[in-house]
């Protein structure tokens, strides 16, 4: 349907598009999948480093003997971080239940 404005120009009547139903965000993947993804990405960074001294320092920090063992070491460290976070949350929950 065409409408004319004060200048006499015609334009198609604007019709709002139908609203799409709100979609829910997909559920978070399991922690193990997230850890593997992070470890893979960080491994690629270490393996592709152009600065040999920087790469050596990363291997030392990770206590990895070679590029082949980087991903496994990263997985260990990420697991340790998750475990520490879970212990901290559990401790907080216990403290909160004792207060009430």
pLDDT recorded at residue 49:
96
- Check residues 68 and 10 and name the one with the higher pLDDT: 68
pLDDT attached to residue 3: 54
Residue ranges per structural domain of the chain: 29-88
Here the tokens at position 91 are: 């401790």
Q: What is the DSSP letter of 15?
A: -
Q: Report the pLDDT value the prediction gives residue 11, as an integer from 0 to 100.
A: 55
Q: What are 38-91's pLDDT values in tens digits?
A: 999 999 999 999 999 999 999 999 999 999 999 999 999 999 999 998 888 888
pTM value surpassing 0.95: no
- pLDDT attached to residue 7: 57
Rounded to whole angstroms, how far apart are CA atoms 31 and 69?
A: 21
């Amino acid at each position: 349907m065409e409408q004319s404005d004060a200048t006499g120009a015609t334009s198609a009547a604007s019709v709002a598009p139908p609203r799409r139903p709100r979609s829910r965000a997909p559920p978070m993947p399991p922690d193990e999948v997230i850890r593997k993804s992070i470890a893979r990405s960080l491994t690629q960074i270490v393996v592709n480093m152009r600065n040999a001294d920087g790469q050596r320092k990363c291997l030392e920090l990770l206590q990895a003997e070679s590029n082949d063992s980087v991903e496994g070491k990263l997985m260990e460290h990420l697991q340790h971080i998750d475990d520490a976070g879970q212990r901290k949350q559990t401790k907080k929950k216990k403290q909160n239940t004792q207060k009430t």
